[in-house]
Chain A
Amino acid sequence: DQQVKQNSPSLSVQEGRISILNCDYTNSMFDYFLWYKKYPAEGPTFLISISSIKDKNEDGRFTVFLNKSAKHLSLHIVPSQPGDSAVYFCAARYGNNRLAFGKGNQVVVIP
């Protein structure tokens, strides 16, 4: 049962432009949403999070938007940089601090 879905498995974007990653979820009990970035052969690195009671959180080049009625969140990266090339995972927290992850989106930033 895929509670967190990330469609469009890969995204290519020009350096300096905006990268937009989308995530849909089904479980209304999720109370926190997180984005992680992962390089090959490394563990996921935390990027940014948002509480279910908010609709926007911003940290530098990263902004996460939450649309609770649509059960949808998105991550905006602007401007995109070559070092942003990685796999991005959307995750949602529920129960005993468990995280449910999407399958990830591969982002390639073209210099």
Chain B
Amino acid sequence: NAGVMQNPRHLVRRRGQEARLRCSPMKGHSHVYWYRQLPEEGLKFMVYLQKENIIDESGMPKERFSAEFPKEGPSILRIQQVVRGDSAAYFCASSPPSLGGGNIQYFGAGTRLSVL
């Protein structure tokens, strides 16, 4: 029973390039969340998606960042024209279809983005 899979684990980009981070949720999970962790900080919520729908993107920067969770395939977090301040660990989490009490989010191992 595979957990949340993220790839790549490490990504190096030069300023101005694009970064694409992928996340495959746990089997049976239809909710996906993206979080960002800066050094010495806690995780910060970015976006919450269900298949083909963005439910809450209140934590996403207004420019250069976008996310999708297509009907088929993994969820993608896309960062255009990366800057040094985008260097961080990006974690994806998934949860089951029901959002009842105690709904738990399960996290992947993260993608560490380094912008040169």
Contact = CB atoms under 8 A, between A and B. Distances in A.
A46 B82 CA distance: 31
B42 A96 contact: no
B56 A96 contact: yes
A99 B94 CA distance: 12
A111 interface: no
Given A95-B56, A98-B48, A103 B40 contact: yes
A43 B35 CA distance: 11
Given A42-B109, A99-B43, A49 B4 contact: no
A11 B40 CA distance: 16
A18 interface: no
Interface string B78-116: 000000000000010101000101111111111000000
Contacts of A79: none
Contacts, number: 67
B63 interface: no
Nearest to A100: B45
Given A34-B104, A97-B48, A98-B48, A103 B41 contact: yes
A40 B100 CA distance: 31
Interface residues of B, number: 30
Contact of B43 (A46, A89, A95): A89
Nearest to A51: B101
26 contacts: A4-B42, A32-B103, A42-B110, A43-B4, A43-B107, A44-B91, A46-B104, A46-B106, A51-B102, A89-B42, A96-B55, A96-B56, A97-B31, A97-B48, A97-B99, A97-B103, A98-B45, A98-B48, A98-B56, A99-B33, A99-B45, A100-B45, A101-B43, A101-B44, A103-B40, A103-B42
Interface of A: 4, 6, 32, 34, 36, 41-46, 49, 51, 89, 91, 93, 95-104
Interface of B: 4, 6, 31, 33, 35, 40-45, 48, 55-56, 58-59, 91, 93, 95, 99, 101-110
